[in-house]
Structure 1
Amino acid sequence: MQRQNDLIKKINDHYPKLSKGQKLLANYIIDHYEKAVFLTAARLGKIVGVSESTVVRFANELGYDGYPKLQRALEELVKNKLTSIQRVEVTSDRIDKTHILRYVLQSDSEKIKHTLEELSEEDFDKAVETILGAKNIYILGVRSCSSLAGFLGFYFNLVFDNVRLIQTNSPSEMFEHLYRIGPEDVIIGISFPRYSKTTLKAVEFSKSRGAQVIAITDSVLSPLIPYADRSLIARSDMASFVDSLVAPLSLINALIVAICIRKKDAVVDSLESLEKIWTEYQVYENDEEIAISFNSTFVESGL
């Protein structure tokens, strides 16, 4: 596994034998790595004043198999360095403001594609088995990741009666929720850049108590990985101050589906009981009520 400063070390080691154009690239990356990470090879070349082919040769000279691998090394270098203000500034430079919708949706689609290509089916299946065999299932996600944890917790509660959803940002409350965790339990820790120290401390504590740890995060360099027995890697986007968690949510959706298939009888029993409760207490609109509502709207509007 490469350390986060390996890219800078490679640039320094190779610098004396780089061409004039490649040295311009090296200097720009060292001085502006937080912006270079989001540039295409063509865009980087244009800013520095060299050709796209020079950018590709520069990546190869550093030992990377193409520019995308160099860009990935840059991502690992800066992913936890950018403040929210810097993210806004970088995003403003990166996005074509006349095609924001297309850019964002295409970017999210690419992250799901990369996640599918990089995530091992074996790792996914082992995580499912770990969850199914646990005495208690703890789900942990804070800040923006609390939405992911809540989604997972909602559906797991329909399947299991041993789910503990933890969404507090208070360290003291976190440990109050976790102090009973033990070797027969599993904790699913969800964290993406900028990584929450609260989540990291909670996962570290759970590991010290002998619990199995499943990490849902963005990279093998995530601080959760050293404590994880099972790692599920999903791509996220650190560019904008709004975190892109589409790929992580898709991964969690797959995890829920896999669990429900394995626990089909329990899911059916739960849903049958819940449907009676939902009907009795009018939790959801039924077809008849929806039809009446539509008809009333049409009458009032004169249609």
Structure 2
Amino acid sequence: MNEEAVAEPVERVLDLFHGVRLTPTQRRIAHCLVQHGPTVAYLSAAEVAELAGVSQPSVTRFAVALGHDGYPALRRRLRELTADGPDGATDAGNELQQAVRTEIGNLDRLAGQLADRDRIAETGRVLAASRPLPVLGLRAAAPLAAYFAYFAAKVHPDVRVLDDGGSLLTDRLEQAAAAGAGALLAFVLPRYPRETLDALREARAAGLTVVAITDSPVSPATEHADVLLPAAVGTDLVFDLHTAPMALAMVLLQAICDAAPADTQRRLEAFEASAARRQLFLG
């Protein structure tokens, strides 16, 4: 099977929104269309409204904003865009193989986005310059934040993981800003904890530049981030697959290293000397 074919329907749906200024409510509808894929192309306007948590008139206005006469016309277009082939059939294997192939498609789409190296390089410079560097990830995003921070701490002098919500989260954001932080890296993944979005608002209020790794260009993080870096989440299994967001996190860490190569080399050499002295590793 051609892995590119897996990603194409999602890309075609995302193209519907390219260059269109959407309201927050319309972004919720757009995200719903992307997240639920071919299924949503066979739902009524009322069903889409319920799924997205908006009103039915909002769905109709959304369709018009995209240049259609109404929702039925948009639904016909969605059916065309999400069809896998002339007869809608695919040769994807069993459901486990399909889940992995979808991840291959997600990674392939991410690779295409990384053609713009300047944007990633500039984001790396912004994060590298932030001392300290707070890294936010709540609930399902917490492991990604911890994984990124584990390696980032080898090349950055002060990485602070924010993986607990509650009233202390705002305190820790304000403390980071007071200590000199200029940016926040946030992992914003489904089901989008309310506390995460509240924290993004607080971070911007504290003067931090918010860089968000999220699952879609129309995710709820869009209106709260200064830099949005999308990487699709796999939804074919019981629990989400975060393959592409993790890959993007490591690409961003590479950009941080590239922003200060001399400091990076010095810190890595210091760590290796310390690890050897303490005999941390077997190999």
Q: Separation in 2 of the partners of 1:63 and 1:104? A: 26
> What residue in structure 2 maps to residue 246 of structure 1?
243
Q: Which amino acid aligns with 2:278?
A: Y
Report what 2:221 is aligned to.
Answer: 224
- Structure 2 counterpart of 1:191, from 174, 184, 188: 188
Structure 1 SS opposite 2:252: helix
Give the secondary-structure state (helix, strand or coil) at the position aligned to 1:164: strand
Aligned to 2:144: 148
Give the SS at the match of 2:130: coil
The one of 95, 104, 107 equivalent to 2:102 is: 107
Name the structure 2 match of 1:39.
none
C-alpha contact (below 8 Å) 1:138/1:164 kept by paired residues: yes
Give, in angstroms, the shift of residue 99 of structure 1.
2.9
Q: Name the larger-Rg structure.
A: 1
Specify whether residues 27 and 201 from structure 1 end up closer, same or farther in structure 2 by C-alpha distance, changes over 3 A only.
Answer: closer
TM-superposed CA distance for 1:32, in Å, is: 6.8
- In the alignment, which of 43, 53, 57 is matched to residue 29 of structure 1? 43
Shift of 1:231: 1.0
Match 2:154 to one of 143, 155, 158? 158
Deviation track 1:18-40 (CA, whole Å, cap 9, x = no partner) reads xxxxxxx9994228769x9xxxx
1:32-90 residue CA offsets vs partner (Å, 9 max, x unmatched): 769x9xxxxxxxxxxxxxxxxxxxxxx9943876647468xxxxxxxxxxxxxxxxxxx
Distance, in Å, in 2 between the alignment partners of 1:27 and 1:198 is 31
CA drift at 1:233: 0.9
Q: How has the CA–CA distance of structure 1 residues 7 and 225 changed in structure 2, closer, same or farther, with 3 Å as cutoff? A: closer
Cα distance, 1:237 vs structure 2: 2.3
Question: Structure 1-normalised TM-score?
Answer: 0.63
Q: CA deviation at 1:246?
A: 0.4
Verify: 1:283 aligned to 2:273, yes or no: no
- CA positional deviation for 1:118: 4.1
Name which of structure 1's ranges 61-70 and 123-132 shifts more when overlaid on structure 2.
61-70
In the aligned structure 2, how far is the partner of 1:239 from the partner of 1:142?
22
Indicate conservation of the 8 Å contact 2:197/2:221, yes or no: yes
CA apart distance, 1:187: 0.5
1:181-239 residue CA offsets vs partner (Å, 9 max, x unmatched):
43851101111111011211111101111111101111232222212111111111234
How much has 1:271 moved relative to structure 2? 2.3
Q: Which of 118, 124, 130 is residue 128 of structure 1 equivalent to?
A: 124
1:265 to 245, 257, 262: 262
- Partner SS for 2:154: helix
Q: Contact conserved, 1:191 with 1:216, CA < 8 A, in 2? A: yes
Q: How does 1:6-17 map to 2 (within 5 A)?
A: none
- Runs of 5+ unmatched residues, structure 1: 9-24, 37-58, 72-95, 287-303
The residue number in structure 1 matching 2:175 is 180
Q: Distance in 1 between matches of 2:143 and 2:103?
A: 17
Matched positions, count: 223
What is the distance in 1 between the residues matched to 2:167 and 2:40? Answer: 46
Q: What is the aligned-residue RMSD (CA, Å)?
A: 3.5
Q: What letter corresponds to residue 114 of structure 1 in structure 2?
A: R
Instruction: Work out the CA distance in 2 between the residues paired with 1:146 and 1:26.
Output: 30
The amino acid that maps onto 2:112 is E
- TM-score normalised by structure 2 residue count: 0.67
Q: Quickly say closer, same or farther: Cα 1:64–1:271, change in 2 above 3 A.
A: farther
CA spacing shift, 1:263–1:68, aligned 2, 3 Å: farther
Comparing 141-150 with 113-122, greater Cα deviation is found at: 113-122
Partner of 2:201: 204
Is the 1:60–1:66 contact (alpha carbons within 8 Å) kept by the matching residues of 2? Answer: no
- Cα distance in 2 for partners of 1:7, 1:285 equals 46
